[in-house]
Amino acid sequence: MAIKKTTIVGQSFPRVESNAKVTGTAQYVDDMQFGPNLLYGRLKRSPIPHGFITRIDTSKAKALPGVRVVVTGPDYPGLTGLYLSDRPTFAVDRVRFVGEPVAGVAAETPELAER
């Protein structure tokens, strides 16, 4: 059986974005303006490798001016991740590793979301 010669491998092809990049007109995410209703999201992650969640007090975060929403695992117990559909998005009842998301915050500034 003879190997077919390919016509694509090893060949150049025109890139759609090339002209915009070389002329300086390409628009990057940092150049975009999203308007006054933009919110910044941050995940709060577990600092410990294994433990039980007895409670998460979100009252102080929710009371901060500019914080729009704070969510935790018990708020959405059936919500799973996009790529890990067998695991909840936020830890519920226990954490299994350092860095596991335990809460999410949406706020008006990135600094406020980080607090």
Structure confidence at residue 24 (pLDDT): 87
Structure confidence at residue 17 (pLDDT): 86
Q: Which of 57, 68, 62 lies closest to 109, judged by CA?
A: 68
Structure confidence at residue 67 (pLDDT): 94
For the chain, the domains span 35-114
Structure confidence at residue 3 (pLDDT): 76
Q: What is the DSSP letter of 60?
A: H
Q: Which of 56, 61, 85, 96 lies closest to 73, judged by CA?
A: 56
CA distance 101 to 72: 9
Structure confidence at residue 18 (pLDDT): 86
Structure confidence at residue 62 (pLDDT): 92
Structure confidence at residue 82 (pLDDT): 75
CATH domain 35-114 topology: Aldehyde Oxidoreductase; domain 3 (3.90.1170)
In contact, 72 and 102? CB cutoff 8 Å: yes
Structure confidence at residue 89 (pLDDT): 85
Structure confidence at residue 42 (pLDDT): 94
Low-confidence ranges of the chain (pLDDT < 70): 1
**Coil, helix or strand at residue 101:** strand
Strand partners, 52: 94
CA 108 vs CA 4, 53, 68, 88: distances in Å: 58, 28, 7, 26
pTM for the model stands at 0.65
